[in-house]
């Protein structure tokens, strides 16, 4: 998967259609299951986002499906996908509005109660479509409101059946699917699933060919189980001891970058990310073989290289960092949507002028040593470690890759789920804004800034 910015993704001219999840108010049921630790921390950290002042974080993906789009079939496929993954039909929010210190409550809609409404824009050039997508993701992925996700499709200009550009089979070209969601719903592994599952469901609806998707568990059940497992955690637990040692040796904070990068600020900084290929296919194969010869995996080999760079450039005798690790510990979670991510510290000893083989073996040992720390939520471990201030430090260091999208060109009155959206071509002229009529249940939103984390598969993630 290539991680890139949406701004760097090549978008053709065409017609953009928004697909908006909606549910009637009486569809929701009170749900006693708690939010996972990472979801709760995310909600409290972004508590201002209801009024457009929060720092939301979304991931997205784009992929192509062959042939001209059948909108009715695609809509049915999306509804089946929403039924498949319970987090898409559930919301955790504060019991008392605007009180981030208060208790959380959850509402969940049963399968079959979420529909998808379609809003079609006018044909537009790539720049206009990109602006529309920015606005769409920005408006519909706040963690504080449902839905915290949205779909869009793009019918390419060259795929117009009237322009004579059909391929040899008589079918017009592919259409592009975009999906964006708040991080509380999806993680990097989830992003990989999106294209395959939606495409498989669409093809099953279109051709009758079985999608053959295996059963999945619910991340909401995972969060409840995670809390039960961590309820009796104390200072003697292995995960707490691992983090306690790391934080003590790093001055009570998570490890810092080994070279000076300027003063840390509490303000959100523009995200500047770069996707670069380190290896071509042959080089990656040779590096993998080198790691295997050292009895190490690919990632351990990468950590060894990072450690050597820290020694060469910063004169460090230890390379300390924090790495993410998935928490999909059972087969029921393998295909689930959710934020299945834990954190583990790495402390790589660089002493003794080691070569690659020695460093790679030390990295293997570290990954094994700290495995238990990734299985216990970071917030819970830190609260027992004696270094509670490390929590806010970690949020700034490891989850703050934000990009405050410019509010220019927004539709400040974009209607949310309750809107009676006209599922036909827009009549708004060249601006490309959809035609919408609102109902009393509307919850108009003001322009909001979205935080993005890069993520793409042929499919591109952003």
Confidence of residue 335 (pLDDT cuts 50, 70, 90): very high
90-144: pLDDT as tens digits: 999 998 876 778 899 999 999 999 999 999 999 999 999 999 998 899 889 989 8
- 67: phi then psi, degrees, rounded to nearest 5: 85, 165
Do 255 and 188 share a structural domain? no
Q: What angle do CA 226, 179, 110 make, to 5 degrees?
A: 55
150 is a domain residue: yes
Question: Which pLDDT tens digit goes with each residue over 372-429?
Answer: 998 888 888 888 887 765 654 444 333 322 222 223 333 322 333 332 222 323 322 2
CATH number at residue 317: 3.30.559.30
Place of tokens 């509010």: 407
Mean pLDDT of 243-257: 89
Domain count, the chain: 2
**Is-contact 107 90, C-beta < 8 A?**
yes
Which pTM value belongs to this model? 0.79
Q: In this structure, are 255 and 215 located in the same domain?
A: no
Please tell me whether residues 278 and 214 are part of one structural domain.
Answer: no
Q: What is the pLDDT of residue 110?
A: 97
| Residue 450 pLDDT class (50, 70, 90 cuts) | very low
Does residue 449 share a domain with residue 378? no
- Provide the greatest CA pair distance for the chain: 71
User: Are 54 and 154 in a shared domain?
Assistant: yes
Same domain, 154 and 263: no
12 and 70 housed in the same domain: yes
Q: What is the pLDDT of residue 263?
A: 78
> Which is more confidently placed, 21 or 434?
21
pLDDT, residue 385, reads: 83
pLDDT in tens, 193-205: 999 999 999 999 9
> Are 373 and 448 members of one domain?
no
Statement to judge: residues 303 and 333 lie in one domain? yes
pLDDT of residue 192: 87
CB-CB neighbours of 168 under 10 Å: 5
Note the pLDDT of residue 437. 28
- Domain enclosing residue 207, as ranges: 6-221+404-461
> What's 78's domain CATH number?
3.30.559.10
Local confidence band at 460 (pLDDT 50, 70, 90 cut-offs): low
Q: Is residue 1 in some structural domain?
A: no
Residue 202 is predicted with a pLDDT of 98
Q: What is the average pLDDT across 306-333?
A: 93
46-63 per-position pLDDT tens digit = 886 553 333 457 888 999
């Amino acid at each position: 998967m290539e991680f890139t910015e949406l701004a760097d993704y090549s978008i053709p001219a065409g017609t953009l259609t928004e697909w908006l999840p909606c549910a009637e108010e009486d569809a929701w049921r009170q749900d006693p299951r708690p939010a996972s630790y990472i979801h709760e921390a995310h909600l409290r950290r972004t508590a201002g986002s209801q009024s457009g002042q929060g720092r939301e974080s979304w991931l997205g993906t784009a992929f192509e499906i062959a042939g001209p789009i059948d909108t009715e079939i695609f809509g049915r496929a999306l509804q089946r996908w929403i039924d498949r993954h319970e987090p898409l039909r559930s919301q955790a929010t504060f019991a008392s509005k605007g009180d981030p210190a208060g208790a959380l409550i959850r509402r969940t809609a049963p399968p079959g109660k979420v529909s998808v409404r379609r809003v079609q824009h006018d044909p537009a050039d790539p720049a206009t479509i990109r602006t529309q997508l920015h606005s769409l993701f920005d408006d519909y992925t706040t963690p504080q409101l449902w839905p915290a996700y949205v779909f869009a499709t793009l019918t390419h200009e060259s795929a117009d059946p009237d322009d004579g550009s059909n391929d040899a089979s008589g079918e017009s070209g592919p259409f592009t699917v975009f999906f964006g969601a708040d991080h509380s719903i999806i993680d990097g592994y989830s992003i990989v699933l999106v294209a395959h599952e939606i495409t498989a469901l669409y093809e099953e609806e279109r051709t009758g060919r079985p999608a053959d998707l295996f059963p999945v568990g619910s991340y909401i059940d995972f969060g409840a189980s995670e809390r039960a497992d961590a309820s009796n955690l104390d200072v003697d637990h292995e995960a707490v001891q691992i983090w306690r040692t790391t934080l003590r040796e790093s001055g009570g904070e998570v490890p810092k970058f080994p070279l000076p990068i300027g003063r840390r600020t509490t303000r959100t900084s523009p995200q500047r990310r770069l996707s670069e290929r380190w290896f071509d296919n042959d080089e990656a194969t040779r590096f993998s073989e080198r790691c295997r010869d050292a009895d190490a995996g690919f990632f351990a080999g990468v950590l060894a290289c990072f450690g050597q760079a820290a020694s060469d450039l910063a004169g460090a005798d230890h390379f300390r960092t924090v790495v993410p690790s998935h928490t999909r510990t059972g087969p029921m979670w393998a295909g689930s949507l959710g934020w299945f991510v834990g954190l583990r510290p790495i402390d790589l000893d660089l002493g003794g002028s080691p070569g690659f083989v020695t460093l790679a073996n030390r990295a293997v040992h570290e990954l094994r040593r700290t495995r238990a720390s990734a299985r216990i939520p970071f917030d819970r471990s830190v609260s027992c470690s004696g270094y509670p201030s490390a929590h806010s430090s970690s949020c700034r260091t490891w989850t703050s890759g934000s990009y405050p999208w410019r509010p220019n060109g927004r539709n400040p009155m974009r209607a949310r789920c309750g809107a009676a959206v006209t599922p036909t071509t827009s009549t708004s002229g060249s601006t490309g804004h959809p035609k919408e009529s609102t109902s009393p249940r509307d919850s108009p939103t003001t322009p909001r800034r979205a935080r993005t984390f890069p993520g793409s598969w042929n499919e591109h993630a952003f």
